[in-house]
Amino acid sequence: MIIKKLSVIVPVYNEEKTIITTLRRIEETKDDRIEYEIIVINDGSKDNTLELLKSNNNLYQHLVDGRQNFGKGYAVQKGLELSTGDYVIFQDGDLEYDPEDFSKFIDVIQKFQADMVIGSRFNYNKYTRSFNILNKLGNYVLTFFFNILYNTTFTDVYCCYLCFKKQLLDSQNLQTIGFEQHAEILCKLTKKGKKFFEVPVNYSGRTKNEGKKIRFYHMFPVLLRILIERIKP
């Protein structure tokens, strides 16, 4: 097995409705050939997320309780610092992405010894919920410029499902903690790695009223970060 241990980083903020279901879905879809390390980062939730996590501590190996909300990027960085797997994958706690798709990432890594595998919501598998048009437009713009600058052919660079070889990323060198951190990580991995793949993933996105946090205007700092990372040596 190429993957011996997979670290699953789960950042959460006010996800009392979905976090336990998310963790149970991870448990149900585990590959018996691989050791799993589930790391949950509670980013200062104000609802019952933390209480639910504490009462279901059999569903994870590590829980970090952040007293303040610093943002998803901060939570991801904390998770990366704790992770000990040879590969890492990100799983949002809102269940927009289905852990059933983990097997696709694992299969590609096993077959091709991939350095990084990213999901795509546009290469449809079973289902994808209709997007907010502005968010989808922003993603198209980001993907277009990313592919030009990094000589890649991705279709969905802001899909949150990303699995990669941990040794390619030094979490101490991450400079961002906002939504643009995903772009920083993707840029760094693309510059260091050699084998990249994309797999179709299911997606059940939320609306703003349902708790969706990313907005169209977040595209601009993300685009700036992509440009900054490209010109770095």
| pLDDT tens profile 146-170 | 999 999 999 999 999 999 999 999 9
> Per-residue pLDDT for 46 more than 90?
yes
- Rounded CA-CA distance 167/118 in Å is 17
Topology annotation, domain 5-231: Spore Coat Polysaccharide Biosynthesis Protein SpsA; Chain A (3.90.550)
What's the DSSP call for residue 22?
H
Which residues in 118-137 are b (16+ Cβ under 10 Å) and which e? Answer: bbbbbeebeebeeebeebbe
Non-local (6+) Cβ contacts of 116 within 8 A are 162, 163, 164, 165, 168, 189, 190, 193, 195, 196, 197
Residue-level pLDDT at 175: 94
Of residues 27, 2, 159, the one with CA closest to residue 40: 27
Give CA separation, 177 vs 79, 83, 101, 166, in Å.
Answer: 12, 18, 26, 19
- Left if phi > 0, otherwise alpha if psi is -120 to 50, otherwise beta: which for 130? beta
Whole-number pLDDT of residue 189: 97
pLDDT at 203: 87
**Measured distance CA(154)–CA(222) in Å, rounded:** 16
47: confidence class by pLDDT, cuts 50, 70, 90: very high
Three-state DSSP class for residue 145: helix
Residue 109's pLDDT is what? 97
Q: What's the farthest any 2 CA atoms get from each other in the chain?
A: 47
Q: What is the mean pLDDT of the chain?
A: 91
User: Once rounded to an integer, what is the mean pLDDT over residues 113-130?
Assistant: 79
3-state secondary structure at position 233: coil
Domain residue ranges in the chain: 5-231
Q: What is the pTM of this model?
A: 0.91
Encode pLDDT of 17-34 as tens digits: 999 999 999 999 999 999
- Is 60 exceeded by the pLDDT of residue 105? yes
Nearest C-alpha neighbor of 80 from the set 111, 39, 46, 121: 39
Query: Facing residues of 65 across strands?
Result: 42
Which helix (H) or strand (E) segment holds residue 150: the answer is helix 133-150
Q: Is the model's pLDDT at 128 over the cut of 90?
A: no
What's the half-sphere exposure (Cβ side, CA atoms, 13 Å) at 202? 11
